[in-house]
Structure 1
């Protein structure tokens, strides 16, 4: 697990057709990990890639356990992290299942305009669940 001081990461996996599917982006002031793998200490199918220069602090599962044993404040912090992860996952699922591609793009534009300057369009399109061509059409219509 790591805390991102600066930079942008993406988490992705390979589909059954061996295409990269971007699952999420993370940037400064975020915790980053293959969460279920970190908890269970098992192999993951998720990959994490730095998309920009990065600075982070990392901690092992063993170090984390020692911190949790040392103070309830650490337990509270990690509980907040887990809660935020759940909320983010729920928002992501609702956006993908409920909203149009244009609405998903506008949401990304409102919440992380810096991503649109720093992240390749292919990764953005994958994250939004659309083709790069469709993303280009949406960008043209939104920015005109």
Structure 2
């Protein structure tokens, strides 16, 4: 029996891969950080958050970014989570949480998220200030998925 047949019959048991957000419930940045701590890739967790944040109203977004993510042990991840919180708060014109200003949420050298050298100029020109001031160079356009 194939996957589609198991899903249709209600007998499919998902593997132990990364937990997906509960339908109808928004993923918080704290939960995204927890997923990164659990071994999930940083960019997939952040992009899932961004997908949901793009559909959230101001009140929902404020709740999604309010709680401080635990430190991941990865300076880039910690800075990106704070930058994404500030960036999305600015889009909705809501207050940015205080935890985003912690000194450990800043990088001491620039990080080009894309490893493609051709995208560096684009990243320099199009990275939102909320990320750029933390040392992260990732264009706003690259943060969106279709």
Normalization by structure 1: what TM-score? 0.24
- Indicate the structure with greater strand content: 1
Higher RCO by CA contacts (8 Å cutoff, separation 6 or greater): 1
